[in-house]
Structure 1
Amino acid sequence: MITYEFKIKGKEPQYRAIDEAIRTSQFIRNKCLRFWIDNKGVNKYNLSAYCAVLAKEFPFANELNSTARQASAERCWAGITRFFDNCKKKIAGKKGFPRFKKNQRSVEYKKSGWKLTEDRKRITFTDKKWIGSFKLIGTYDLHFYQVEQIQRVRLVKRADGYYCQFGIQAENTQEVEPTGKSIGLDVGLNHFYTDSSGAKIDNPRYLRKSERRLKRLQRQVSKKVKGSNNRKKAINRLGRKHLRVSRQRKDFVVKLARCVVISNDIVAFEDLKVRNMVKNHHLAKSISDAAWSQFREWIQYFALKFGKVAVAVPPHFTSQNCSGCGQIVKKSLSIRTHACKCGVILDRDENAAINILIKALKLLGYISNTVGHTEINACGEMLLYLNLETAFKQERSVKQESPSL
């Protein structure tokens, strides 16, 4: 399924109607969660049937389209299912028990409750919330798809306005020619990542660059009287600035991930637990600003789209192990150069990136586990060649320095 997003242009009463629909959707979701907590053995179908009970009991809930009420119940059940899955997997710590929503920002419709015009430039919502018709502002063309392919329509409220998203059931794959290249990525804070060939990408640090302006806007919010219109305006200005930072970060990550995946057939990266890493309060802001998790998600998405291979490897000892001989060379975070007794001298992050690539190739079976021996195998119809200048250039340099090897 692919998602197309348009900004919608309407009048102020229409925006207030969307807000009311969002609050109603939040109310139904929270009611379904309370029903699940109070009654043992409730399943997905019981929650869907409970929506009809809520519609009869509360007139404002009956004004919302029936499929939108069912979508709210499905959202509730998705949180419950995720909680049970985490319990079955025995994930350490909190298991994500579903919580009541306090500030929901979207309402979702299914197949009914909306209608597109013939030119696909406007959308009309037909439930009793009287949301009305909106002009769709965007660059996507909905004429490429049939109306029957649109599975979901979602109205989203953000700091800079209202948006309409279309969830379209369609294949999202593209065929690209194999490049015969593989790459290992080691993410960091000094540089966004260092790859196995030694190339470095600078960390843009969008939050750090905007921090001064954000602090000023936050002070303006604090000075306003609670509940006043001036405070609401100040909150909106602050929200717009945060939204800009998040969009800058996403734009950087998406473009970089696409470039990496298209240029390589195998992309290896560390399976980092960012949720645990941000518990370090000295580095939490910088780690969050780097958006490592978002970068990984987009790499996996583009790998699936373009038919490439994305491999997450365990991060253990990738910085400590020598990429030439495999011996452990202990070093603190302040030491940025890897120097081994075997003669390999490398940047710390480059050494880690090569180790990540070697781990991924061993998992995929492209190279054997024998130290000092490289065996290249074929995979399907595509033959992937390991670039010796990137992954094993240390071993070659050692052989040149020591004829006995």
Structure 2
Amino acid sequence: MIILEFKAKGKESQYSAIDEAIRTVKFIRNSCISLWLDNKGTGKSDLSRYSKILAKEFSFANELNSTARQAASERAWSSIVRFYDNCKKKVPDKKGFPKFQKRARSVEYKKSGWKLSPDKKSITFTDKKGIGKLKLKGTWDLWRFDKKQINRVRIVKRADGYYVQFCVAVNVKEEVEHTGEMIGLDVGLKEFYTDSNGHSEPSPRFYRKGERRLKFYQRRVSRKKKGSSNRRKAINRLGRQHLKISRQREEHAKRLVRSYRKKSAAFIVDRLCIKGGRFCCKAALF
């Protein structure tokens, strides 16, 4: 299973329609959580049926595709299941009790509610929300995959725009000749990691380097009047800076993994987890 992400290009009216669809998903998800709180023994099928009831009662919920409503109820159920699992495993401290969602950033469709163009360079959402046709900007070769392999389509809102994600069911298997070498990686605080050969990778400290700009944009947010358009713009600029730092961290980690993958060596990563005042050491073999 792989995720292919593209930048979505459309009109302002289409972006407003996406925002409305995201708000509808949040409403359905929170309504399902409320049903679970009020009725003991509520299961996954009950939440799925309740999403149909909401569509009959509220016109804005009926405008959303039925599979997107099901996906919203599944989000609520996944948070409930996670809470149950943490209780059974006796996880220390907070168990992750399901809460009402204040901010939502995505809407997810299954097999229906969308249609790809023949050249697969644009996608049209066919429900009544009015999203319509969005152009896809990216470097992934989506045309290589059959439409039947696409299990889900998700629209994600970020600080720098809207993105369309495709969940493609493929078996990713890379045949690499193993050299027989095994390397251990110890992730630390001062150094990003130190391997068993004595090589240390310095910590990039992306957050510390960008902290000055973050403080600057945070001050701008605090000075703006609540509810004003200028405050929304300042919040968006702050979010873009946070997004830049998170992408720097992700790309840095990918680059290091690729460098070891090219050596065709198995490596063990050891990381220290601090949770609930307890120390636990975990290792993973790749």
Q: TM-score range by the shorter chain?
A: over 0.9
Is it true that 1:80 corresponds to 2:80 in the alignment?
A: yes
Give 1:209-248 correspondences, 5 Å limit: 209-248=209-248
The number of equivalent residue pairs is: 285
Q: Which has the higher strand share?
A: 2
CA contact (8 A) 2:123 2:134 kept: yes
Give 1:19-38 correspondences, 5 Å limit: 19-38=19-38
CA distance in 2, matches of 1:3, 1:12: 26
TM-fit CA distance, 1:21:
0.1
CA distance in 2, matches of 1:275, 1:237: 32
The higher-RCO structure (CA 8 Å, 6+ apart) is 2
Is it true that 1:4 corresponds to 2:4 in the alignment?
A: yes
Structure number, greater radius of gyration: 1
CA distance in 1, matches of 2:19, 2:160: 14
Structure 1 residues 13 and 275: CA distance shift in structure 2, 3 A = farther
TM-fit CA distance, 1:147:
0.5
CA distance in 2, matches of 1:185, 1:74: 37
CA contact (8 A) 2:92 2:276 kept: no
Letter in 2 for 1:186: D
TM-fit CA distance, 1:261:
3.9
CA distance in 2, matches of 1:206, 1:213: 12
1:271-307 C-alpha deviation (Å, 9 max, x unpaired): 4214458x9xxxxxxxxxxxxxxxx9xx96xxxxxxx
Identical amino acids, percent of aligned pairs: 59
TM-fit CA distance, 1:10:
0.3
Is it true that 1:204 corresponds to 2:204 in the alignment?
A: yes
Partner residue of 1:146? 146
1:48-103 C-alpha deviation (Å, 9 max, x unpaired): 11111000111100000000000001111111111111111111111111111100
TM-fit CA distance, 1:258:
2.7
CA distance in 1, matches of 2:225, 2:113: 40
Please provide the CA RMSD for this pair. Answer: 1.9
Give 1:10-89 correspondences, 5 Å limit: 10-89=10-89
> What is the TM-score when the length of structure 2 is the normalising length?
0.95
Secondary structure at 1:189's aligned position in 2? coil
CA distance in 2, matches of 1:65, 1:179: 51
CA distance in 2, matches of 1:192, 1:76: 36
Stretch of structure 1 that moved more, 226-235 or 253-262? 253-262
Could you list the runs of 4 or more consecutive aligned residues of structure 1 that deviate by over 4 angstroms after TM superposition? 274-277
Mark the runs of 5 or more structure 2 residues left unpaired by the alignment: none
TM-fit CA distance, 1:254:
1.4
Partner residue of 2:93? 93
Letter in 2 for 1:96: G
CA distance in 2, matches of 1:185, 1:261: 13
Secondary structure at 2:236's aligned position in 1? helix
CA contact (8 A) 2:93 2:276 kept: no
Give 1:321-360 correspondences, 5 Å limit: none
CA distance in 2, matches of 1:45, 1:190: 49
TM-fit CA distance, 1:262:
4.2
1:16-55 C-alpha deviation (Å, 9 max, x unpaired): 0000000000000000011111111111111111111000
Letter in 2 for 1:167: C
